[in-house]
Amino acid sequence: MTDRFPIPIDDPSDPRVEPYRDIRERDLVKRHGMFIAEGRTVLQVLVAQNRFPVRSALILENRLSGVWGLLQELPLEVPVYVATQQVMDAVAGFHIHRGILAIGAIPTTINPLQTVPAQWRTILVLAGISNHDNMGAIFRNAAAFGVDGVLLDGECCDPLYRKALRVSVGGVLKVPFHQFSKFTDIIGLLEGNRISIAALSPSGSEEIAHWTPEERQALVLGSEGHGLDQRWLEKLRTLRIAMDDGFDSVNVATAGALALYRIRSLRT
Amino acid sequence: MTDRFPIPIDDPSDPRVEPYRDIRERDLVKRHGMFIAEGRTVLQVLVAQNRFPVRSALILENRLSGVWGLLQELPLEVPVYVATQQVMDAVAGFHIHRGILAIGAIPTTINPLQTVPAQWRTILVLAGISNHDNMGAIFRNAAAFGVDGVLLDGECCDPLYRKALRVSVGGVLKVPFHQFSKFTDIIGLLEGNRISIAALSPSGSEEIAHWTPEERQALVLGSEGHGLDQRWLEKLRTLRIAMDDGFDSVNVATAGALALYRIRSLRT
């Protein structure tokens, strides 16, 4: 057989769609080396980037023709399941209005990063980003503004969580990332590679509009609530975004976008 | 009586807390000239700005001491109700984990804007922004970067909707806004006031990093999905944000933040 054909799933208890079962609840636990890609845009990036192997796809019957061309780029052995809305919702455990799901695999061969790749010029460092919307938005901006790699500390949430991935419009699948257990290890790695580090903070000492990034520049974003620890703010070069007095700082992903765009503008 | 005292609510069916009943469902319909402010930050801006009269507050018993000082700034005749979590949730119809709600009134005397106030220099124009998260984020950024006023067309969602207000961290209560039925009326008003207009679009002709705003500048953000109508993009000066090829544009609120920050940086 040389042609791909869709495999109908009529019974929600069909074991072939087990990885899609009750995904809302199971998002919150480790997914045994797998993640859920949801929606056309994320599927498109998943297929185009070819960084994460695709295990299968589960498509709503009336959405199939719209993604069939895209699915042809997957290896023939990757099964494409098709189901009615009723069966799909029963499998997933809630209403899947986008009608497009796929299972990606996280390669177990990802080793801790020992050295920063020589071609990385713009590096984003995330400390304690715990909100999936923010994580997704940060990766969306990282992909848009040419970040070469993202380094996350152990307090960060999982960028491959379904919602983060969806909000990133696939940016999580595009920009390489590595998670470390400790923030201090990330700083050590960057310093060892002679990469300049600057941290964004409402109390930062330099305004980003007057800041010139270095040839190799790491930008640190701290947690949504309390920001980066004071002891790190004292050690690192710090940047702030000028804004109106008496108003709460902008969202962490927005602050990051302003700094990343500044870096990009000065380099191109 | 000259002192304010909290009024305990023990019965969820108490008519005094009627405006707080089933707020999730009622968010979606017109609220008879009222809106819900949720959480400490929004309440703080509501009280500090003093632009919208406060009708009452409903506070979780164990949150009362934390906001009591703030509530002293309200006129004495504004009732402060206090309830247990159980009663509060039963009234609201879902779990109010922030424990702080207030009812604000929308003045009926707001007339359509006939002329743009002379002191307005930076004006944000929103066309078809239909997502409450985006609306909230746009107002948060508008407040942070000193926008003088926001003009919305009839396709935009309500900025005073509970979630938009919360995401804006009170920005909606800080930055004056006016909703028009037609986008063309907004453009007519701006042109009549000799205010320069520029629209952000992925297909814009000028890059914002090289753009210099005028003394009085209006910035137009189009809808999340399709952006501004092509006929308007052809008529107006258009700006784009440089980003990596092949990647989806950044979020509309983020794009707006980049342009507003550019305006602010060049003016201060």
Q: Please identify, among B47, B77, B105, the residue that sits at the C-terminal boundary of a domain.
A: B105
For residue range B134-190, what is the model confidence (pLDDT) as tens digits? 999 999 999 999 999 999 999 999 999 999 999 999 999 999 999 999 999 999 999
Q: Are residues A216 and A153 in the same domain?
A: yes
Q: Do A171 and B145 count as a contact with CB atoms less than 8 A apart?
A: no
Residue A243 near chain B (CB below 8 Å): yes
Contact criterion met (CB below 8 Å) for B177 and B150? yes
Cα separation, A123 vs A21, in Å, equals 36
In this structure, is residue B117 part of a structural domain?
Answer: no
In this structure, is residue B148 part of a structural domain?
Answer: yes
Number of H helices, E strands in chain A: 10, 12
Q: Are residues B65 and B158 in the same domain?
A: no
In this structure, is residue A116 part of a structural domain?
Answer: no
Interface with chain B: mutation pick from A138, A174, A250, A260, highest number of B CBs within 10 Å: A250
Question: Distance from A192 to chain B by nearest Cα, in Å?
Answer: 29
Contact criterion met (CB below 8 Å) for A154 and A126? no
Tokens of B255: 């794009």
Q: Is B54 exposed, middle or buried (0-12, 13-18, 19+ CB in 10 A)?
A: buried
Q: Please identify, among B73, B105, B137, the residue that sits at the C-terminal boundary of a domain.
A: B105
User: What's the rounded mean pLDDT across residues B58-81?
Assistant: 94
Question: Distance from B1 to chain A by nearest Cα, in Å?
Answer: 34
pLDDT exceeds cutoff 80 at B1? no
Q: Are residues A131 and A231 in the same domain?
A: yes
Q: How many residues does chain B have?
A: 268
Residue A34 near chain B (CB below 8 Å): no
Cα separation, A167 vs A20, in Å, equals 19
pLDDT at B28: 56
Residue A145 near chain B (CB below 8 Å): yes
Cα separation, A6 vs A79, in Å, equals 7
- Nearest by CB to residue B144, choosing from A143, A174, A243, is A243
Residue B166 near chain A (CB below 8 Å): no
Cα separation, A169 vs A105, in Å, equals 18
In this structure, is residue A11 part of a structural domain?
Answer: yes
Interface with chain A: mutation pick from B49, B252, B260, B265, highest number of A CBs within 10 Å: B265
- Nearest by CB to residue B140, choosing from A170, A250, A261, is A250
Number of H helices, E strands in chain B: 10, 12
- Nearest by CB to residue A251, choosing from B140, B170, B243, is B140
User: Residue A178's pLDDT band (boundaries 50, 70, 90)?
Assistant: very high
Residues of A in contact with B166 (CB under 8 A): none
Q: Which domain holds residue A250?
A: 122-267
Tokens of B70: 């703030």
Question: Distance from B45 to chain A by nearest Cα, in Å?
Answer: 9
pLDDT exceeds cutoff 50 at A1? no
Q: Are residues A132 and A256 in the same domain?
A: yes
Residue A138 near chain B (CB below 8 Å): no
Q: Are residues A100 and A128 in the same domain?
A: no
Residue B34 near chain A (CB below 8 Å): no
Interface with chain B: mutation pick from A49, A139, A175, A243, highest number of B CBs within 10 Å: A243
pLDDT exceeds cutoff 90 at A3? no
Three-state DSSP at A114 gives coil
Residue A12 near chain B (CB below 8 Å): no
Q: Give the number of other Cβ atoms within 10 Å of residue A80's Cβ.
A: 20
Q: Are residues B99 and B131 in the same domain?
A: no
Interface with chain B: mutation pick from A133, A251, A260, A262, highest number of B CBs within 10 Å: A251
For residue range A46-65, what is the model confidence (pLDDT) as tens digits? 999 989 999 999 999 999 99
Q: Do B261 and A258 count as a contact with CB atoms less than 8 A apart?
A: yes
As a whole number, the mean pLDDT across chain B is 91
| Angle (deg, nearest 10), helices B132-144 and B252-267 | 10
Q: Are residues A41 and A82 in the same domain?
A: yes
Contact criterion met (CB below 8 Å) for B200 and B239? yes
User: What's the rounded mean pLDDT across residues A62-83?
Assistant: 94
Sheet with A34-38: strands ordered across: A7-8, A80-83, A54-60, A100-105, A34-38
- Indicate the Cα dihedral angle B31, B32, B33, B39, nearest 10°: -30
Cα separation, B251 vs B268, in Å, equals 26
Three-state DSSP at B17 gives helix
Buried b (16+ CB within 10 A) or exposed e, A195-219: bbbbbbbeebeeebbebebeebbbb
User: Residue B248's pLDDT band (boundaries 50, 70, 90)?
Assistant: low
User: Residue B24's pLDDT band (boundaries 50, 70, 90)?
Assistant: confident
pLDDT at B65: 94
The residue of chain A nearest to residue B173, with distances taken between CA atoms, is: A247
Long-range contacts of B233-237 (CB under 8 A, 24+ apart): B233/B199, B233/B201, B233/B203, B233/B204, B236/B187, B236/B197, B236/B198, B236/B199, B237/B196, B237/B197, B237/B198, B237/B199, B237/B205, B237/B206
Total number of domains constituting chain A: 2
Q: Please identify, among B51, B73, B105, the residue that sits at the C-terminal boundary of a domain.
A: B105
For residue range B189-222, what is the model confidence (pLDDT) as tens digits? 999 999 999 999 999 999 999 999 999 999 999 9
Q: How many residues does chain A have?
A: 268
Q: Are residues A92 and A127 in the same domain?
A: no
pLDDT at A249: 81
Cα separation, B260 vs B147, in Å, equals 8
Closest CA to B227 of B217, B218, B240, B216: B240
Question: Strand runs (DSSP E) across A80-134, as ranges?
Answer: 80-83, 100-105, 122-126
Closest CA to A244 of B81, B219, B255, B171: B171
In this structure, is residue A114 part of a structural domain?
Answer: no
pLDDT at B113: 82
User: What's the rounded mean pLDDT across residues A42-48?
Assistant: 94
User: What's the rounded mean pLDDT across residues B88-115?
Assistant: 86
Q: Do A247 and B41 count as a contact with CB atoms less than 8 A apart?
A: no
pLDDT at A24: 77
Cα separation, A98 vs B77, in Å, equals 49
For residue range A209-260, what is the model confidence (pLDDT) as tens digits? 999 999 999 999 999 888 899 999 999 999 999 988 777 689 999 999 999 9
Q: Are residues B132 and B98 in the same domain?
A: no
pLDDT exceeds cutoff 60 at B244? yes
User: What CATH number is given to the structural domain containing B172?
Assistant: 3.40.1280.10
User: Residue A30's pLDDT band (boundaries 50, 70, 90)?
Assistant: low
Q: Do B146 and A265 count as a contact with CB atoms less than 8 A apart?
A: no
Cα separation, A232 vs B44, in Å, equals 30
Q: Are residues A149 and A27 in the same domain?
A: no
In this structure, is residue B232 part of a structural domain?
Answer: yes
Q: Are residues B101 and B217 in the same domain?
A: no
In this structure, is residue A113 part of a structural domain?
Answer: no
* A-B contacts (CB, under 8 Å): 75
Question: Distance from A254 to chain B by nearest Cα, in Å?
Answer: 6
User: Residue A29's pLDDT band (boundaries 50, 70, 90)?
Assistant: low
Using alpha carbons only, give the angle A71, A72, A75 rounded to the nearest 5 degrees: 95
Residue B59 CB contacts under 8 Å (≥ 6 apart), including other chains: B6, B67, B71, B80, B81, B82, B83, B99, B100, B101
Q: Are residues A162 and A244 in the same domain?
A: yes
ipTM over 0.90? The verdict is: no
Residues of B in contact with A254 (CB under 8 A): 137, 141, 253-254, 257
Cα separation, B150 vs A264, in Å, equals 29
Question: Distance from A249 to chain B by nearest Cα, in Å?
Answer: 7
User: What CATH number is given to the structural domain containing A65?
Assistant: 3.30.1330.30
In this structure, is residue A112 part of a structural domain?
Answer: no
Tokens of B14: 């108490």
